[in-house]
Each structure stands twice: as C-alpha cells, then as structure tokens.
Amino acid sequence: MTISCDWHIHSRNSDGGLAPMELAGRAAELGILDYGLTDHGDLPHKQKSLRDARREFLAAKGGPRFHFGAEASCMLQWTSDEIVAGRLEDSLYVGGPADGPLALDLSAEDVAELEIEYVIGSVHGPLCGVLEREPVIRDNFRQLMFIVTHPLVDVVGHPWWWIRGWKDADGRLTGKPWFDDFDVVPQSMHEEFAAAAIEHGTAVEANAATMVMSSAYTEKFNHQYLNYLAKLKERGVRLSIGSDWHGNPYGNDFAKAEKALATVGISDRDFWRLPPRL
C-alpha cells in the first residue's frame, strides 16, 4: 500500500529549500494526498520563520488536505528564559542546569496566533552536558517523556535520533550512544514512553530520512529500529510518517521506507492523519 501522507516537511522559511507554493503540485504528482509544512520556530526572532511560513502557506492555496504545522525543539527552560531576555543567542545546548526544567521553543500563544494545526516535538540535542552513553540515554529519555506528555505536541519527531559526537570518520553512526546496539536502551524506557503516548493521544513518527532509511547506520541498527517502531504499533501507539524533507524541489524517500516498514507490518493505513480542513 503506497504511502499517501507526509507530516514532516521543511521549507525555505527555516532550514529547508522548497517554496510552499510549489509543494502542493509536487506532492500530488508523488501520490501524497495529506501533508503538512513543519518549519522550525526561532525563539530569538519571535517566530519570524513560522510567520513567514504561514504567509507562504496561505498564498500557496494548497487545498484542504495541505496543513500548517510546526516542529518544536525541546530545550532547558533556563535557555528559553535567557533567549527571551536577550542574554543568549539561539543555542539550545549551552549552559544552564543540566537537570533543570524543560521547555519547548513554541508556546500556546504562538500556536493560536499562527493557527498552527499540529505540532511535532523533537529532541534535537543533548542537554546533559556529559557526552557519555548512560547520561545521554537518560537525557534523551527525559526529553522524550517531556515531549510525549506535552499538551501542545501531536507527534513526537524522530525518537532516538542523534547527531552530536561519535560520528565515524566517514560520517556514519555506528557506535555510541546506541547505534552499535539499540538494545542498550532499556525496554522499560520504551514501555513507559509507549504508555505515555497512548495516555496522551500523541503519535510517534517513523522518520523516513533520518531514521528508517538512513544509510548512516548499520544494517543491524536499522533492523532494531524498525522492530522498535513495530513494537510501538503493537502496544497501541499511533505512528506518523514524515520525510523530514529539507531539499528543493519536494521529493521523498518513501519508496524505500515503504519497503522497509512493510517488513515489520507497518503500512499507510497505520499512520496518523489530520482530516481535511472544512
């Protein structure tokens, strides 16, 4: 069954390349019926990127199945306060109490004002300061739990994605923190996360570009990660699909992702979907 939705797409208004007005036609050509724009916010600039994205989204007139979303990052409340006070630039990961309260870089006021229809909440880096396997696992889990239980979040983006440190010389991720063996993350963490997703009605993303089909990982990790997604589904968690597209023009890696997901019994009918707007 062909994948017919894509809930994670960036435009030129944040760190992507495409123009929202060109997205609608391209999506239809690729068989994507339900989809949404999800640019990052930018706290120090009072969400200028999302404001610009909203304007271009409206100008695109993409029809009722093209939606306006946002991708929010988890950060320390301390960092958010410092940014708002003008004492810190937009660094999410420098300074502050490592175990201090967490925040999203998007508020309920932003969501209302910009008429954001859905929010992806993502971990985009470690807040724990110490780059060692155990603290990073605990830190990632703490952020995931904050996101999955957050009232503004509809979809948890790319769980257990990781970019900092530990890259091989060729840019691949085959070692720490969990790419050598995903089983180093305790099952109890996945269980607690899944239970919270169900309780809060939060979907969890199968991210085609960075998790499901990335060639940055070993075959073993890709296999373990697909099983992780299948286990979430089995526990009753709703999965979402996203290309995490940053390029221009719009494309996606869904042909490959579809094949991979099918090996663990995940298909288009399993995915979270927003209904067409009235």
Nearer to Zn ion, 208 or 230 (CB): 208
Which residue is listed with tokens 């969501």? 111
CB of 243 to Zn ion, least distance (A): 9
Return d(Cα 144, Cα 228) in angstroms, integer. 15
Would you state the structure tokens that stand for residue 232, as one six-digit string?
């979430």
Residues contacting Zn ion: total by CB under 5 A: 4
Cβ-based nearer residue to Zn ion, 96 or 157: 157
Nearest approach, Cβ of 50 to Zn ion (angstroms)?
13
Q: How far apart are CA 60 and CA 74, in angstroms?
A: 29
CA distance 198 to 202: 7
Sketch the per residue contact string, 56 through 95, with Zn ion: x for CB under 5 A, - otherwise.
---------------x------------------------
Selection from 263, 270, 110 nearest residue 204 by Cα? 270
Residue 244 is a binding residue for Zn ion (CB under 5 A): yes
With respect to Zn ion, which residue has the nearer C-beta, 121 or 181?
A: 121
Amino acid identity, position 26: R
The pattern of x and - marking residues 114 through 133 that bind Zn ion according to CB under 5 A reads --------x-----------
CA distance 16 to 70: 13
Cβ-based nearer residue to Zn ion, 20 or 157: 157
Residues between 147 and 166 with contacts to Zn ion, criterion CB under 5 A = 157
Q: Which is nearer to Zn ion, 62 or 159 (CB)?
A: 159
CA 119 to chain centre: 9
Provide the 3-class DSSP secondary structure of residue 88. coil
What residues line the site for Zn ion (CB under 5 A)? 71, 122, 157, 244
